[in-house]
Amino acid sequence: MRQPRALPRLFGSLLLVAAAGIAAIGAGPAPDRSVPDPSASTPRPLGQIVPAPASVSPGGAPYTLTPWTRIRVDQHSREAQQIGTYLAGVLRPSTGYALPLTDGPAPGGIRLRLSADERALGDEGYRLQSSPAGLTLTARKPAGLFHAVQTLRQLLPAAVEKDARQRGPWQVAGGTVTDTPRYAYRGAMLDVSRHFFTVDQVKLYIDQLALYKINKLHLHLSDDQGWRIAIDSWPRLATYGGSTQVGGGPGGYYTKAQYKEILGYAASRYLEVVPEIDMPGHTNAALASYAQLNCNGVAPPLYTGTDVGFSSLCVPKALTYDFVDDVLRELAALTPGKYLHIGGDEAHSTSHADYVAFMDKVQPIVAKYGKTVVGWHQLTGATPAKGALAQYWGLDDTSAEEKAQVARAARNGTGLILSPADRIYLDMKYNKDTPLGLDWAGFVEVRRAYDWDPGGYLPGAPASAVAGVEAPLWSETISTSDHIEFMAFPRVVGVAELGWSAASTHDWEAYRVRLAAQGPRMEALGIDFYRSPQVPWRSG
């Protein structure tokens, strides 16, 4: 994780960045085929970013940041101002430049423009234009402007990410990048239940995900081992149910104020938080906190192991739905986003009839509080509510019947979030020697995580049903930020690309080269990524 760094070997890292720029991107609509001069100061080609951009037209001389550069935000938009401030915050420590924000003319400056007329840029698209006269970032919505800033970061030398002053030059190749995402849902999930992660740890992960244009953070807030969000009407859920974790550590929970802090931080990085309360299984922490929730009226002990499938809310009991209503009401009131995730996986201690009855009662509660249901794909074995999203976590060898059940729901209007466990479960080991993680879905190397197409993934499911992709990180074996980083990076970068980039850009050989160029950047950011032998890293 990020630590203050000593002054780096400047010359070496510049050479590395330039070398990384040599390979052009693959089969994009307008691939950048220019072969740069491999001298240390050559800016990287515009297409050398992750996720691959929709279109690139290189041309002209580069833009150069100078000590006199201003950041001009010419719109009376508070959000655009905040994005300008964020950009300055990224650039100031390493360049050492003042980079004042201005709303007046700024010749030669960086200009942030919001323009309602730019329909083709949609909700998240942007254009980046670079020439010696200036650098202009244009978007229709603030999210697009924020993504443009991430592209700009990646076009500058990796040393720009360091938190102490570095030597320039700070150049961006000349030309235009015009970019929009393939999918609106590009997520990562963090399991804060099996091990608790602090507000600061979650913020760090948010920053790391934002760099690659991930726009959803799914928080798995409850499970057998811990309940992690304060619920005023059932206070023991957090104070008792949150008091331990896997292995018996102290656990923890977010107060509502802390949770709002996470939400605010995520929003400032244009991520929507999707909170999950897993039900009716995975509920031991709740059952342990309130005896009356149990069918037999007896509270089980807190649980610190890693088994799944042994707990269930009491489906026939009326009190169960008062409980669920209270929890979802309070959670919905906290949630600015559209979705409430109600889990629904591995309910092995709930009969099928009970499962269906439970989901029939609980989904309308989500709707009553103005939210849209997300559930793990087992929800398709009940009757998914109108507009619901099912999160598919099967494997290549999941049974044909189970896949068909999900595909049928997709044909009937249930949207899909694809999280195939043997592709993008970030808690799967990379190989047999990976010290962290599980292997029940097999080993997942970097290529395997990237090299599949969400559009055609599930047989019989229309491509139009795919809302996007999400990479879950379950935390049975994960307890520090270093662990998060090692398991997520670089696989989550590939997931970000699958979510953002057009299928036509999909090409492992080209991707691995662009990914390699992220090595020095992740190092500069202090991200402890896995140096997969499949990737031609150029880091030193």
Q: Which residues bind ligand TNX (CB under 6 A)?
A: 308, 345-346, 376, 393, 425, 427, 438, 474, 476
Amino acid letter for position 126: Y
**From the CB of 438, what's the least distance to ligand TNX, in Å?**
5
- 123/346 with CB nearer ligand TNX: 346
- Written as one string, the DSSP assignment of 361-427 is HHHHHHHHTT-EEEEEGGGGGS-PPTT-EEEE---TTS-HHHHHHHHHHHHTT-EEEE--HHHH-TT
Token pair belonging to 299? 């509270």
Q: How many CB atoms lie within 10 A of CB 489?
A: 21
- 194/512 with CB nearer ligand TNX: 194
**From the CB of 477, what's the least distance to ligand TNX, in Å?**
9
Which residues are the active-site residues?
346
- Residues 6+ positions from 242 with CB-CB distance below 8 Å: 196, 226, 227, 228, 251, 252, 253, 285
Amino acid letter for position 399: S
The long-range contacts involving 75-84, CB below 8 angstroms and separated by at least 24 positions, are 75/112, 75/113, 75/114, 76/103, 77/114, 77/142, 79/142, 79/145, 80/112, 80/114, 80/142, 80/145, 82/268, 83/112, 83/142, 83/145, 83/146, 83/149, 84/112
- Strands 134-139 and 126-131: what pairing? antiparallel
Cα 9 from chain centre: 31
Q: How many CB atoms lie within 10 A of CB 108?
A: 15
Whole-number Å distance between alpha carbons of 477 and 290 = 28
Tell me the backbone φ, ψ of residue 327, rounded to 5 degrees. -65, -45
**From the CB of 476, what's the least distance to ligand TNX, in Å?**
6
- 254/376 with CB nearer ligand TNX: 376
Whole-number Å distance between alpha carbons of 406 and 6 = 52
**From the CB of 214, what's the least distance to ligand TNX, in Å?**
19
**From the CB of 225, what's the least distance to ligand TNX, in Å?**
10
- Strands 134-139 and 110-114: what pairing? parallel
**From the CB of 468, what's the least distance to ligand TNX, in Å?**
17
Q: Supply the angle between the helices 508-516 and 491-500 in degrees, to the nearest 10.
A: 120
- Residues 6+ positions from 119 with CB-CB distance below 8 Å: 140
- 345/445 with CB nearer ligand TNX: 345
Whole-number Å distance between alpha carbons of 205 and 347 = 29
Whole-number Å distance between alpha carbons of 512 and 492 = 13
